[in-house]
Amino acid sequence: MYSFLKKREHGTIRPWKFVRAESTKRAYSLQLSPTKEITRVHRGSVQSIKVENIEQRYMLSGGGDGRIHVYDLNTPPKSDGHVRIEPIASVTRENRHYYSVTTLSWFPFDTGMFISSSNDNTIRIWDTNSMTSVCAFHLGSHVHCQAISPIASHCLVASGADDPRIRLCDLKSGASTHSLTGHNGSVLSVAWSPRQEHVLYSGGADGTIRVWDIRRAHACLMSLDQHNTDNSDPLADTNKAHGAGVNGLIFSSDNERIISLGLDEKIRMWDMDTGRNTLVNYGSLWRNRFQWYMEATVSGPDVWPPLLYVPSDDQQVLVYELNTGRLLRRLKGAYGRVTCVEKRAGLQEIYSGSMDCEILVWEPAEDHSLSMEDEHPSEEDAWSASDEDPE
């Protein structure tokens, strides 16, 4: 790092290149934090964790016990340097979900509200200050996931449940507006496009990924095909994204691609403009055998090449190079099946939840900068594609 600081001081390296190089080296040197610990408070598995994107300070966790907790990630260290992060607010036993929480989402424009889904057949809207439910949508079947658009003004929450319909719940009216039909079987994953506020992606137990425009009467635009078959019908019955259910959808940091996780234990990446499979091979070491929503994540935009963090049933988090599919790291530390992974992009930290009721903190190694000394000049530009400023 010192060589980069010297070059930055003399103006021989551009600011964005310096940020990218340091962020990338931090992201590539993750280790289980020796100083940070999140208090074990869940009496069941940790099913979902979410860090808000406004300050990247507060984190939600939801568990198999139906409880939801809020943590302040900027908790100051003790005199010995150890940081013990405890909940600053929790949902009481009286107000909790009756069964396991399945997914959590922060309201995209304000940390004063968040959303949860549960196996008790409900989606609930919560006031963060009072930790009480202000609205509930009763969907009549187990809710696997929910999602709210990070860019839209329509305030619609999409839900995936045992019902083959995707229900759209309106936060403004407190009612379910309409349904999207097309899947054969349960809907296991939903995700709003980060570029187009009316476009929704969904993955079903039937192995299909469908793309919807909620403004249209015939809302389904296409069904993705893993074989990239040249077919004039984008909704052909033969189009399959996976050989089994699709229980995870994540967008790349550049919002150009979508990554799908399948119960056939395959990871696939798709071009969002064309809907074609990019045919990146992520190998066969990942394990995904349970029909639960899988929360994976990708590295922030300052990390290049970008990384994909995927929870695995064999008690570890697998770290892949997103563009090539190469397995780079295995983050081992959990004593149960890892169910969810979340990033804190500003600090290149990763948080993972698992069936052993624990949330682990993964942070860059303190000595990661030792590999950036002057005796390795070939590494100075290892993380940038060119010397030109990005557009």
Backbone angles phi, psi at 48, to 5 degrees: -155, 140
Give the distance from CA 101 to its chain's centroid: 16
User: What mean pLDDT value characterizes the chain?
Assistant: 90
Residue 291 has pLDDT above 80, yes or no: yes
Give residue 8's pLDDT: 62
How high is the pLDDT of residue 152? 82
Q: Distance between CA 391 and CA 377 in Å, rounded?
A: 26
- pLDDT bin (cut points 50, 70, 90) of residue 379 is very low
Strand-pair partners of 338: 354
Cβ atoms within 10 Å of 238's Cβ, excluding its own: 10
Q: What is the pLDDT of residue 376?
A: 34
Flag whether pLDDT at 355 surpasses 90: yes
Three-state secondary structure along the chain? CHHHHHHHHCCCCCHHHHHHHHHHHHHCCEEECCCEEECCCCCCCEEEEEECCCCCCEEEEEECCCCEEEEECCCCCCCCCCEEECEEEECCCCCCCCCCEEEEEECCCCCCEEEEEECCCEEEEEECCCCEEEEEEECCCCEEEEEECCCCCCCEEEEEECCCCEEEEECCCCEEEEEECCCCCCEEEEEECCCCCCEEEEEECCCCEEEEECCCCCCEEEECECCCCCCCCCCCCCCCCCCCCEEEEEECCCCCEEEEEECCCCEEEEECCCCEECCCCCCCCCCCCCCCCCECEECCCCCCCCEEEEEECCCEEEEEECCCCCEEEEEECCCCCEEEEEEEHHHCEEEEEECCCCEEEEEECCCHHHHHCCCCHHHCCCCCCCCCCCC
Segment 41-54 mean pLDDT: 95
Cβ count within 10 A of residue 141 = 15
- Where does the pLDDT of residue 374 fall: very low under 50, low under 70, confident under 90, or very high at 90 and above? very low
Does the reported pTM lie above 0.85?
yes
Q: Which of 69-78, 206-215, 296-305, 363-372 has the lowest mean pLDDT?
A: 363-372
Task: Read off the pLDDT of each residue in 302-309 and give the average, rounded to a whole number.
Answer: 95
Q: Check residue 178 and give its pLDDT.
A: 86
pLDDT of 251 strictly over 60: yes
| Phi, psi dihedral angles at 184 (to 5 degrees) | -105, 95
| Contact (CB, 8 A) for 190 and 159 | yes
CA dist., res. 194 & res. 201, Å (int): 11
At 54, phi and psi to the nearest 5?
A: -80, -55
Q: How far is CA 104 from CA 48, 49, 66, 146, in A?
A: 6, 7, 12, 8
Given a cut of 70, whether residue 217 has pLDDT beyond it is yes
Residue type, 149: S
Distance CA 182, CA 206 (A): 10
The per-residue pLDDT for range 84-128, each reduced to its tens digit, is: 999 999 999 999 999 999 999 999 988 999 999 999 999 999 999
Percent of the chain with pLDDT over 70: 91
* C-alpha to C-alpha distance for 231 and 373, rounded to whole angstroms: 54
Q: Which of 284, 291, 346, 306 is nearest to 57 (CA)?
A: 346
| pLDDT tens per residue across span 136-177 | 999 999 999 999 999 988 889 999 999 999 999 999 888 887
Q: At what angle do helices 15-27 and 2-9 cross, to 10 degrees?
A: 170
The pLDDT score that the predictor gives to residue 9 is 65
End-to-end C-alpha distance for the chain, whole angstroms: 26
Strand order in the sheet with 246-251: 246-251, 257-262, 267-271
pLDDT in tens, 318-335: 999 999 999 999 999 999
Query: Would the pLDDT of 390 be above 80?
Result: no
Q: Is the pLDDT of residue 391 over 50?
A: no
- The residue among 374 and 278 whose pLDDT is bigger is 278
Give the pLDDT of residue 112: 94
Both structure tokens of 26: 């931090």
